[in-house]
């Protein structure tokens, strides 16, 4: 009696399912703080990331650690943002899944009556006009993808005024309203508009850049139990971007437990 003939499985049944292509993201302000942590987190999540910032040496370190793509970009310069559009095409083709706006920052704590208008102008140029410039440049690629996300990292300063914060309040409120207007303008399109508004986050540079002195910067966090970290914020950003695309987190305000408002923070006595 002849042995049964083994029939090879069809190629359709034996082939492994083809995984979907990795999602793609541009993260601005990626040389430090929340931007750096976000770029690293998205790479760990399986995203293909193009991390951008002005400081190319910091970006090179990030690329070596994570394998992300990098490009030195000044979001306040048209030519620099034009170069970013070209690099996005080189890395990802004609479409893009997420643009994460982290570049920004605060300068000074002078009251409005003593405003340093150069600082105000710089804050507006970075937090608002720079954000608009990059959004305008990359929005076509987000729409082409069919699964686009515009994510803005603003601040509780966009929601609550506080003494010494007027310039930053105004700039971040402008960015907040930009996000709100875009959500209306893009209604019906396959682009989510997400805003993450952190409270007190202890990063190496935010308060130092704002105050210009390490001792004063350190004092901002004195006695505060567990201020947020950049990684805490990256966790929230990751959750928002990886949620099913029909789920839109319009606005997430995230603070440390010790902070009840922008100007109300619990501090341990004697610290």
DSSP characters over 189-254: SSEEEEEEEE--B--SSHHHHHHS-HHHHHHTTTT-SS-B-HHHHHHHHHHHHHS-TT----EEEE
Q: Helix 33-44 vs helix 230-242: angle between axes, to the nearest 10 degrees?
A: 50
Residues with Cβ within 8 Å of residue 172, at least 6 apart in sequence: 104, 127, 154, 155, 157, 158
Which of 124, 168, 221, 239 is an active site residue?
A: 168
Residue position matching structure tokens 């920052």: 105
End-to-end CA distance of the chain: 90
Q: Which of 70, 78, 194 is nearest to 136 (CA)?
A: 78
Is residue 97 within 8 Å of 48, Cβ to Cβ? no
Element (H, E) at 148: strand 148-153
CA distance 104 to 123: 7
Q: What is the pLDDT of residues 33-81, one digit of tens each?
A: 999 999 999 999 999 999 999 999 999 999 999 999 999 999 999 999 9
Both tokens assigned to 166? 């007027």
Per-position b or e across 16-34, b if 16+ CB within 10 A of its CB: eeeeeeebbbbbbbbbbbb
pTM, two decimal places:
0.90
For residues 228 and 33, give the distance between their C-alpha atoms in angstroms, rounded to a whole number: 11
Stronger pLDDT, 12 or 46, i.e. the higher one: 46
259 bridge partner residues: 265
* Average pLDDT of every residue of the chain: 91
Under 8 Å between Cβ of 28 and 72 = no
**In this model, does residue 5 exceed pLDDT 80?**
no
The candidate with the shortest Cα–Cα distance to 241, out of 45, 21, 78, is: 45
Q: How sure is the predictor about 21, in pLDDT bands with cuts at 50, 70 and 90?
A: confident
| 152 band by pLDDT with thresholds 50, 70 and 90 | very high
Write down all domains in the chain, each with its CATH number in brackets. 21-199+228-256 (3.40.50.720)
Q: Which residue has the higher pLDDT, 203 or 109?
A: 109
Residue 258 has pLDDT above 90, yes or no: yes
Record the tokens describing residue 246, joined without a space: 């029909």
pLDDT at 77: 98
* Secondary element (H or E) of residue 26: strand 24-27
124 is catalytic: no
DSSP assigned state of 163: T
Rounded CA separation 149/233 (Å):
17
pLDDT at 173: 97
Q: Are 129 and 76 in contact (CB under 8 A)?
A: yes
Read off the pLDDT of residues 89-138 as tens digits, 9 standing for 90 and up: 999 999 999 999 999 999 999 999 999 999 999 999 999 999 999 999 99
DSSP output for 107-124: -----GGG--HHHHHHHH
């Amino acid at each position: 009696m002849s042995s049964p003939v083994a029939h090879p499985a069809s190629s359709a049944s034996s082939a492994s399912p083809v995984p979907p292509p990795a999602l793609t993201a541009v993260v601005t302000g990626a040389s430090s703080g929340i931007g750096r942590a976000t770029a690293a987190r998205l790479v760990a999540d399986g995203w293909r990331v193009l991390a951008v910032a002005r400081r190319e040496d910091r970006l090179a370190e990030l690329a070596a650690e994570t394998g992300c793509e990098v490009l030195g970009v000044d979001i306040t310069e048209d030519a620099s943002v034009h170069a970013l559009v070209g690099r996005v095409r080189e890395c990802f083709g004609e479409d893009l899944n997420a643009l994460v706006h982290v570049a920004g920052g605060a300068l000074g704590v002078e009251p409005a009556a003593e405003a340093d208008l150069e600082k105000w102008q710089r804050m507006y140029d970075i937090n608002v006009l720079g954000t608009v410039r990059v959004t305008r440049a990359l929005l076509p690629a987000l729409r082409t993808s069919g699964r686009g996300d515009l994510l803005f990292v603003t601040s509780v300063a966009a929601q609550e005024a506080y003494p010494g914060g007027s310039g930053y309040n105004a700039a971040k409120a402008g960015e907040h309203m930009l996000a709100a207007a875009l959500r209306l303008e893009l209604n019906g399109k396959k682009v989510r508009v997400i805003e993450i508004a952190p409270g007190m986050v202890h990063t190496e540079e935010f308060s130092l850049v704002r105050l210009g002195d390490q001792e004063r910067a350190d004092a901002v966090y004195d006695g505060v139990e567990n201020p947020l970290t950049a990684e805490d914020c990256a966790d929230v950003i990751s959750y928002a971007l990886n949620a099913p695309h029909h789920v839109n987190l319009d606005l997430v305000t995230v603070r440390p437990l010790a902070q009840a408002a922008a100007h109300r923070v619990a501090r341990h006595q004697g610290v």
